[in-house]
Structure 1
């Protein structure tokens, strides 16, 4: 059983219902009981509470908090002694103030990616945490499910184990067709974003995290062009970049939400890493009875002493997609004193810096040098 008295979900959007609630359900008794939910509106808070009652098979719904009632607002929720952890799933520009308010109330915080809307605000937020709240023993981590995804971590481990030799070059392609009927587009705060890049920041930090998890060396330099191709995806919807890693390897990074049709989205997407002794492909796939997962196909080359290729064998790794469950589980372990490194805000800041550089480069070389951990 979890030693934490209870948990609250702050934010009642799609991802809270479709990702966080099922993840908490899958964790079973390892997760603290869900005590409360909060949203800006009463209706959305009620909808989340109802979904929680069903998904978690509760005998009664969690308590509801919202901005429309001063006696049941966020401050009232945060004053509860039986809530030790909050998961913040709010719009990008709203989250930082809520993170700091939650920490000030003595709560451990897991906040959805990105860490902040830009590098400057992210650095401020991290330093506030490290100077004021970390010394008190409070834990704050950023929920980046691609970083926690078992399949992506397995791909990174295969490379670190030397299965494809030294990395020479790579290509990550994520082309998406996001139309105005999409449930993700219809989210009001995404429709008129007040943060850089629109969907390129909101969704792009996932791809940046994928590079960070799989490549054995961090990306240090970027030269990129960004453009807007569909007006409703303003300010920008497409990135094409050349990137270089610290170990000298380099690659292509392509991200777009402006594909003309869904068929373009299903053609060529994936992450390909080529090494001196083989290559691997990381792709979404249906695995074991149609379950969504990650498939890693590793091509391993055997050479003789003169470098002549003797054989090429293929190794397959498949992992069920459970990044949200993994990030929450790891966060709860950190609170108990077992820190495996996931969700570090400085790592999440690197993902924001990557996307920000892609948006700002305009073909110029950008050095990704960032202040390090204090």
Structure 2
């Protein structure tokens, strides 16, 4: 395997996240993967993304429309496909690709309805369906998952999200997010729920939430305050404001023996997370971890599709990228939104 050529992948979608995140992050690991094609519904959009990608992957091909998608499907040299489309379209495209044997990396979306579709795929070797969730790969969360045991029995968990989704944000005018049930709360919130679940190491079993719509430039709801209970008996709060004039994002676990906090911020010009651990002696230890989750999840997906091509169905894919993990994130937030629509009535979180 040492002399094997890097696996070839394609990207289906050519929007802002592909241009601003996926292409730059793939360029960082161009020794591990080859980007063969980028597809979009329109030729103009596809060419715009390809123009950016050509700086790092000179041979990348431009594909668009039904014919271009068929060419990607029929290209046996393409092992995996990253599906980065509007939430409403992701599942249909992912299942179509999976049924033709392509391994798929998909952004979090309406996964519950698609589980049966994936499980019904009849193949000797079922292709990998990975859900992109970079929070489960961020070094800060990986380290804190290990550290959280040191706070002792949990007494309280707090997740405070004061976002900055205003007109200066490139995603503010995204039409599909505005026509998506749950709007920006769901689109943004699943990542913060993923961070919560990874940090506490157990599941959210029930929620009670109040939702409001204050900023009329945003789709409803744009504010949510939720009380949640974990299966270990600990309770916590999840507060999310889509757009605030003073953005702040942190997770905090208070235990009998200490407190652990992850706060998003900058250090020496780099974006990342400041991890603060307060021990029983009251002393605080701070460590900063820069963002690298998108790159690390790509590395994991690439390893998986390489191993699957060698070991077949005997290869166990990275559990942090399983569609069940992504569906559970959506289920927690969905329960909160459902409770909000019922004026705070308790709602149990669906299990998978």
TM-score (norm 2): 0.91
Does the aligned pair in 1 maintain the 2:13–2:38 contact within 8 Å?
yes
Unaligned stretches of 5+ in structure 1? 117-121, 302-310
Match of 1:330 among 285, 291, 300: 300
What residue in structure 2 maps to residue 319 of structure 1? Answer: 289
What residue in structure 2 maps to residue 353 of structure 1? Answer: 331
State the SS of the aligned residue for 2:272: strand
Does the aligned pair in 2 maintain the 1:229–1:258 contact within 8 Å?
no
Please give the residue correspondences for 1:74-223 in structure 2 after superposition, counting only pairs within 5 Å.
74-114=69-109, 116=110, 122-132=111-121, 135-159=124-148, 162-190=149-177, 192-193=178-179, 195-223=180-208
Unaligned stretches of 5+ in structure 2? 308-314
- Check 1:135–1:232 CA distance in 2 against 1; reply closer, same or farther (3 A cut): farther
Structure 1 residue 237: Cα displacement: 1.0
Structure 1 residue 74: Cα displacement: 1.0
State the SS of the aligned residue for 2:191: helix
C-alpha separation in 1, matches of 2:26 and 2:123: 25
C-alpha separation in 1, matches of 2:327 and 2:134: 15
Deviations along 1:169-192, one digit per CA (max 9) or x if unpaired, are: 0110111232234211122323x3
State the SS of the aligned residue for 1:217: coil
Does the aligned pair in 1 maintain the 2:259–2:279 contact within 8 Å?
yes
C-alpha separation in 1, matches of 2:330 and 2:300: 22
Aligned residues: 339
C-alpha separation in 2, matches of 1:239 and 1:2: 50
Structure 1 residue 247: Cα displacement: 0.5
C-alpha separation in 2, matches of 1:214 and 1:153: 8
Structure 1 residue 4: Cα displacement: 6.0
Does the aligned pair in 1 maintain the 2:107–2:133 contact within 8 Å?
yes
C-alpha separation in 2, matches of 1:92 and 1:280: 33
1:272 counterpart = 2:252: yes
C-alpha separation in 2, matches of 1:2 and 1:22: 23
Structure 1 residue 231: Cα displacement: 1.9
Structure 1 residue 338: Cα displacement: 5.9
C-alpha separation in 1, matches of 2:140 and 2:270: 13
C-alpha separation in 2, matches of 1:199 and 1:123: 19
Please give the residue correspondences for 1:236-247 in structure 2 after superposition, counting only pairs within 5 Å.
236-247=221-232
- Check 1:138–1:252 CA distance in 2 against 1; reply closer, same or farther (3 A cut): same
C-alpha separation in 2, matches of 1:19 and 1:258: 22
1:339 counterpart = 2:344: no
What residue in structure 1 maps to residue 14 of structure 2? Answer: 12
State the SS of the aligned residue for 2:263: strand
Deviations along 1:300-338, one digit per CA (max 9) or x if unpaired, are: 11xxxxxxxxx3332233222111111111112222136
C-alpha separation in 1, matches of 2:227 and 2:76: 50
Instruction: Report the aligned-residue RMSD.
Output: 1.8
C-alpha separation in 1, matches of 2:47 and 2:114: 30
TM-score (norm 1): 0.86
State the SS of the aligned residue for 1:129: helix
C-alpha separation in 1, matches of 2:222 and 2:335: 15
C-alpha separation in 1, matches of 2:334 and 2:124: 30
C-alpha separation in 2, matches of 1:333 and 1:92: 26
Structure 1 residue 367: Cα displacement: 0.9
Deviates more, 1:34-43 or 1:361-370: 361-370
Does the aligned pair in 2 maintain the 1:6–1:83 contact within 8 Å?
yes
C-alpha separation in 1, matches of 2:7 and 2:265: 38
C-alpha separation in 2, matches of 1:319 and 1:239: 28
